[in-house]
Amino acid sequence: MDRNEFKGFSRQENSSSLNSLPPDFYNKVNGYIHELEDEIKKINNPRSVESKILEDELQTALNDVETIFIRRIRKITSRATSNAFLEVSSSEDMSKLLPSEKKVYEATLSAIQTAREELIDPIFKPNPALDENKVEKDGSQDNLIQKQETLEEAIERPEESEQTGKKDINEEYCLVRILKDLPTFKAADNNNYTLAAEDIVVLPSLNANGLVKRGAAIPIEGRRIKLKDVRL
C-alpha cells in the first residue's frame, strides 16, 4: 500500500456510509508503516529534510488509521443500536464488515438486547392485575352479549308459554314504549322492526310481552289493539 491509496481509504470514511475495506487492509497499513519506519532508520539523521518528511508521513499515517478505525466502529455500533430495537434486524452493510468488525457488531447488539430485556421489557410486560380486570370485563361483556342474544331470541321467538291460550297472532297487538335500542327483528306478524329507545310502537302482543318481560319496553296503559285498528 502506498501513501495515495491509504489516503483514499481515509477520505472515504469521512462519509456517514459504511464502506468496504479490503480483507487485508490493516495488514497492508501495518506493512506501510513499517516501511516508513525502516526508511527513517536507514537515514539515521533525524535532522535531515528527508527524515522529517518521512516522520511527518509516518505520524499522518498513524493518525489516519486510528481515525479510520474510530469512525468505522462508531458506524458499526450505531447500526447495532438501531437493529437492537427492530423486530427483524437489518442485514444492510453487514457484508462490508471485516471479521473483527462483525464481532464488534454482534457483541454490541447482544449487549444492548440483554440490557433491554433486563431493563425495558419488564416495563412493557402486561400487568397480571390488569389482565384479571380485563378477564372480568370480558366476562361482563360476554354476559351483556348473552343477554343481548337472549333478548333477540325473545323478540324473534316468543316463548311457547306465552303463545298458549292466545288468540291468533295476527289478531292482537299492544302499544308499548321502547326503553333501549333494539336490533332489527322479525316479529310474529312477519314484519321487520328496527326500534330505538323512547319509540312508541304497536307490536304483536307476543313480541311486546316478551320485550316488557325483559325490561326492554313498557306497555302504554295496558292497551291492546285489534288487527283491524292497525294500519300497516
Q: Do residue 91 and residue 175 come from a single domain?
A: no
Q: Which of 121, 147, 182 represents a domain boundary (last residue)?
A: 121
Q: Do residue 92 and residue 165 come from a single domain?
A: no
Q: Which of 90, 121, 152 represents a domain boundary (last residue)?
A: 121
Whole-structure pTM value: 0.53
Please state, in angstroms and as integers, the Cα–Cα distance from residue 116 to each residue in 32, 47, 86, 113, following that order: 43, 57, 12, 5
- How many independent structural domains does the chain possess? 2
The pLDDT of residue 59: 95
Is there a domain that residue 126 lies in? no
The three cell numbers locating residue 55: 516522520
Distance CA 131, CA 137 (A): 10
Q: Do residue 116 and residue 26 come from a single domain?
A: yes
Q: Do residue 8 and residue 117 come from a single domain?
A: yes
The amino acid at 206: L
Is there a domain that residue 26 lies in? yes
Is there a domain that residue 83 lies in? yes
Tens digits of per-residue pLDDT, 77-108?
Answer: 999 998 888 876 677 788 999 999 999 999 99
Q: Which of 86, 121, 156 represents a domain boundary (last residue)?
A: 121
Q: Do the Cβ atoms of 151 and 190 come closer than 8 Å? A: no
**Residue 24: which H helix or E strand, with range?**
none
CATH of the domain at 157: 3.40.5.50
Q: Do residue 117 and residue 190 come from a single domain?
A: no
The pLDDT of residue 229: 44
Q: Which domain holds residue 8?
A: 3-121
Q: Do residue 66 and residue 117 come from a single domain?
A: yes
Is there a domain that residue 189 lies in? yes
Over the chain (232 residues), the average pLDDT of each successive run of 10 is 86 90 95 94 91 94 94 93 79 88 94 90 74 55 53 50 43 83 86 88 88 87 48 40
Q: Do residue 9 and residue 55 come from a single domain?
A: yes
Q: Closest by alpha carbon to 21, among 58, 64, 72?
A: 72
Distance CA 205, CA 162 (A): 9
Tens digits of per-residue pLDDT, 35-47?
Answer: 999 999 999 898 8
Give 67-79 as a DSSP string. HHHHHHHHHHHHH
Please state, in angstroms and as integers, the Cα–Cα distance from residue 197 to each residue in 36, 100, 182, 191, 205, following that order: 95, 74, 8, 19, 19
The pLDDT of residue 56: 94
Q: Do residue 137 and residue 116 come from a single domain?
A: no
Is there a domain that residue 89 lies in? yes
Is there a domain that residue 179 lies in? yes
